Amino acid sequence: MDTTKLTEVIWSDPPPSCRGSGRVASYAHLLDALRENPGKWGVIEKNRKGGVPSSLKKKGFQGVTRKVDGEVLMFARYVGVNGQS
């Protein structure tokens, strides 16, 4: 499966984890949309290879990956730096 970078945010809460409890610049326009909707989860990448980039956390985002219908989706939301949105 090829990674698919989206051109707009798909607003959706991530499903529960199945296990226990790159580049951020390429997501800039998507991250702007998330900043405008603090706390709201959205899918920003399909067919993700690997985990969530640690640089997202430094910029005030939370992220998770989940397998949904055979695709690995990366969900993200803006929570603000140090909890400040």
Phi, psi at 50, each rounded to 5°: 100, 180
pLDDT exceeds cutoff 80 at 19 = no
- Tell me the average pLDDT across 39-44: 95
* Element holding 54 (H helix, E strand): helix 54-58
Q: How confident is the model at residue 7 (pLDDT cuts 50, 70, 90)?
A: confident
pLDDT exceeds cutoff 70 at 73 = yes
- Tell me the average pLDDT across 53-79: 90
pLDDT exceeds cutoff 80 at 22 = no
Between 38 and 82, the higher pLDDT residue = 38
pLDDT exceeds cutoff 50 at 71 = yes
Query: What is the helix, strand, coil percentage profile of the chain, to 5?
Result: 20, 35, 45
